[in-house]
Structure formats: C-alpha cells, structure tokens
Structure 1
Amino acid sequence: MSVILYACAVRSRDGLPLSASTDFHQHNQVLECKRKLKALSLTLSQCPARGTAQGRDLCIHFSSAGDVTFLAICTDSVPSAVAFSFLEELQWEFSVSCSSTSVALASRPYAFLGFDRVIQRVKHNFNFARGPPVHLDPSPPPVIVRLEDVEDVNVIVNGYSTLPMQSAPNYRMTPVTALGILSLTLNIMCGALSLIRGVHLAEHSFQEGYGNAGKVTAFLTAFSANILQCYLHLFYCSARKRKTCGLLFLICVCHVYLYGLRNLWQIAFHVLVALLSAQQTLIRKPLEKHCDIGV
C-alpha cells in the first residue's frame, strides 16, 4: 500500500520546524527515518530545491518554496510524482495562510501549530483517495540525496544530530532561582558603584593630568564585567563557562589593582559578589530539548 507517513514544514535557512503532522508511528524504522529527516532539515540551505533521500523501505522527499521547505516520509511504493504533488499542495495551502514575514520572524519551534490540521487533511486525502491528484510538474526532477552524507555533516551520534551550541533564541534556560536574582541585584549594585567611582575619579583627576587613568580604567572595566556577568546569567551563549571564569578573574584583578581607593572589606565584597554570580551562572543550564510534535 502506498502511504505518506509523516510531513512537516521547516524554515529553509536554519531548519527551524514550523509545523508537522501528528502521528503515532512507533516502528523503529519510521522513528529512525524521522531522525534522519531532522538531520536533513539542518542542511537544506546546501541542498537543491527538490530532492529525495532514499532509504531501505522509506523515502524522504523535500521541496522548497521561498524560505519554507516541506518534507515528507513515504513508503518506497509512493510514486515520486504523487509525493511531490502532495508537497506542492502543502506549499500552496501554507502560502495562503502564512506570510513570509511571519516565517522570518518565527523564533520558536512549531510557531504555526494551526497548520498541522491542514497537513493532516491533505495527507489523509492523498492516502485514502482512490486517485490522488497528480499535477504535471515542469520543475527539474528531484536530486537524489545520500543520507550518509547528511549524517556526516550533522555529526549524528546514535541516530541523533548534535546541534552546534551557538547563541540562539531557541535555547531556553532553567528558571532563575531566588539566589540567582540576589546575585543579579548585587552585581548591578557593584557595577553601579564602580561606574560612579570611576566617573567621579575621572572628573577630579583628569583636570590635573592623567596619573589616575589606570585607576579610572579599572573602575570602568569592573563595571563592564559586572554587566556582562548579568548577561551571561540571563542568556545562553557559546563558551559560556570560559567567559564566566574570565570575567570573574578580570573583576578580581581590577579590584586588587584598586587597593588603596577601596579597602579590604570593599574589595572582598565585590569579589564575593562576582564569585556568587559566576557560581549561579555555571549552575544555570539550558533546558532539555522538548519532544517534537509527532515524534
């Protein structure tokens, strides 16, 4: 029996899933094909507009239109013409209901959840109609894509693709704790104190020369490091651990250099606040990836 098992829409430039059909296929072969589909979606910017990735018994067909690509998992008995007619039908339905601007501004997975029902309806029509509509397509024939190449590009480990850990709006962090809020408040206060002292010292010393330029720079550097510590605590970015430790070291060096303008108790307070902020930043981890719809 010719069957379209699964279909989804993703953003072509980064593979962000926009919508997908809900299904309950728990067969290992189907699940494995879905994982390969996810890996393929991350390389669509390097793929042709139309293509087919052939598996043993299942095939992945994909077709791009603008910034949106539709992909479908079908049994190998589904004719290529039928599969691409199905994808074209989805493209037309999507273009009617969703604008290119909303696609470009989407920042979270499955932002077009309502389109799932359309995918289900069109999939049902193609699967159960006696003669699914097949359109004459003047487009070039689909390019055959090797899934092994896709896996190599995405560094798939045990069937899962390892995503590059970059700063991105899709990474959500665990909630900020009460101690984390306290560290942010103290960090802002320490940064404000350093800024005020630095500006005050600059106003009085630069009138007589630049002998305290190093001290002013240390105050302003400590202020900047405090603000960056707050940023690292609130948002995810790459090399987060190294940056956190580097900022802690920088704050310690600045306040040791400022000994004389600040007493030991003041230096100890600023260093302890920086240490608390670094500790809270390091224990705040990205949330585990949520299960995708239909997977």
Structure 2
Amino acid sequence: MSMILFAWIVRVRDGLPLSASTDFYHTQDFLECRRRLKTLALRLAPYPGRGSAEGRGLTIHFSSSGDVACMAICSCQCPAAMAFCFLETLWWEFTASYDTTCIGLASRPYAFLEFDSTIQKVKWHFNYVSSAQMESSLEKIQEELVLQPPVALTLEDTEVANGMMNGHVQMHLEPAPNFRMEPVTALGVLSLILNIMCAALNLIRGIHLAEHSLQCYLYLFYSPARTAKVVLMLLFICLGNVYLHGLRNLWQILFHVGVAFLSSHQILSRQLQEKQADCGV
C-alpha cells in the first residue's frame, strides 16, 4: 500500500489551490481527511514552516515557504521524515517550474494542474523506491525535525476553523441602539428658506426667458424671407462642416450648428427689440 496518498499545492496567503494529484480514494476516512485538508489550507499563514495534523489512520503533513505550501495526506505508517522530504522535493520542483509572478497572479483554482505529472513522478519515487537510496536526504530532514519540530495540530482544530469560516460561530444577539433625529436648528431653517427663494427666482427667470424665446420664434415665422434666410444659413454651415471635417467629427458639426442657432436667435432678438422700440412699445 502507498504511504503517500494525496498531494496538494496551495497559495499561502489565501489558500488558493494551485495543483493537486489526480488520484483519488473513496474510503470514508480519506474523504473526511481531504475535506479537513482544504480547511487547513485556508489558515496556513500563521504556521510558517512544517506542521502535521493527526487523524484516524491518516495524517496531514504540510510544509510552506514563501507564498507556496505543499500538503500531503499520508498513512500513519509513513515516517514524518519521508513525508517532509517528499513535500520539500515537491516545493523545489514547483518553484523551479513557475516563478513568483505567475503564482501571485493566479486567479482561478488549479491554474497549474499540468504539474500533476511531476507530482505523480515524485510520489511514485517516494512510495516505491527503497529508503536506502534516499538515506542522505532523510537523515538531513530528520536532523532538522529534531532541531525544529513541526507544529502539531489535530483534525479537531481544523473542524473549529471550518465552523468559524462558514459562519457557524455562536452569535451574541444584543438589542440595536435606538437613534433619534435631532431637531432642525435655526441655521438649518434659514438655509431652507433661502433655497426656496432661489428656486422661486430661477423659476420666474425661466418663464420670462421662455416668453421672450416664443416671441422671437413668432417674429421669425411671420416673415417667410427671414425664415428662408436662417434655414439657408444653417444648411450652409452644416454642409461646410461636413465637407471640411467629415462625418467622424459629428460632435463638432452639432456644436457649430448650435452656435449658428444661438447667433440667429440673438439677431432675431435684436431685430424684435428694434421693432418694438420703433412702435413705441
């Protein structure tokens, strides 16, 4: 039976899975252990370095450095030195294949799933190659574990984290504070009155402007000659701008038409005022 069952590579800062081994076991213990492995991946930031979580028949080992962490589900018969040697080899292979920029910019889960072929090769090497051929590497890891033991966790710790991350924590309900609106001050009342007066004045000015514009337009249409003159002037301006600028500068054409329209409006207003002055209005 294989001692290293499953491998997972995640990003430390947010627990985003980057790659994983595609082999899968359907035992209840493995499914439960894998579920808690995903939960543990979300809280690796406080545990830099190495750590282990013991379970029933299976053990989770993880090793993180920088922004990449390698995790594995192993049988209880797998020595800790072998598991951490496997994770360290996997970490070196992954960081040599992908730079930190690609890892940091990854936005979707399993963005480097093609790395599974490398995971399978390394996993097969540690499962089926004799320990004598890896003796030097295992001795080095064993010495490091003696000097700096891995963090020891339990799968119950991950269950508590899972409850907190999924919102199943105990809620402390308290009555919401009552807020009452403060009364309007004298300054607020004065500001409201001034705003109403300004609005009324603007309304009166708008009515007078509409009246004056209506008189200008009536004066224009009373004289067919003036109407034809203004229409021809607007048409000439439009055709001239189309010729000079082309249809791509449509906003400039509309701007010039608007200027011509305002100019004709001012001319008509002046003529209307002169006519009213002549009539003694």
1:230-254 per-residue CA deviation (whole Å, 9 max, x = no partner) reads: xxxxxxxxxxxxxxxxxxxxxxxxx
The residue that corresponds to 1:77 in the other structure is 77
Partner residue in 2 for 1:109: 109
User: Offset at 1:103?
Assistant: 0.9
Whole-angstrom CA distance in 1 between matches of 2:83 and 2:114: 22
Post-superposition offset of 1:105:
0.7
Match of residue 253 from structure 1: none
Q: Which residue of 2 aligns with 1:125?
A: 125
Q: CA deviation at 1:47?
A: 2.2
The amino acid across from 1:47 in the alignment is Y
Partner of 1:251: none
CA contact (8 A) 2:48 2:65 kept: no
Deviation, 1:120, is 0.9
Partner of 2:95: 95
Match of 2:151 in 1: 143
> How far has the Cα of 1:162 moved from its partner?
3.1
Deviation at 1:211, TM superposition (A): 7.7
**SS of residue matched to 1:120:** helix
Unaligned runs of at least 5 residues, structure 2: 169-194, 202-281
Higher deviation after alignment, 10-19 or 44-53: 44-53
Number of residue pairs aligned between Structure 1 and Structure 2: 166
Q: TM-score, normalised by structure 2?
A: 0.55
Name the CA shift for 1:85/1:125 in 2 (closer, same or farther; >3 Å): same
Aligned partners of 2:29 and 2:56 also within 8 Å: no
- Structure 1 unaligned runs (5+)? 165-205, 213-295
**1:151 and 1:73 mapped to 2: Cα distance?**
17
Moved >6 Å (runs of 4+) = none
Give the match's secondary structure for 1:5: strand
Change (3 A) 1:77 1:107: same
Counterpart check, 1:162 vs 2:166: yes
Cross-structure match for 2:191 = none
**Structure 2 CA distance, aligned partners of 1:149 and 1:211?**
69
Give the SS at the match of 1:155.
helix
**Cα distance in structure 1, aligned partners of 2:200 and 2:122:** 76
Larger radius of gyration: 2
* Partner SS, residue 141 of structure 1: coil
Q: What's the % identity of the aligned pairs? A: 51
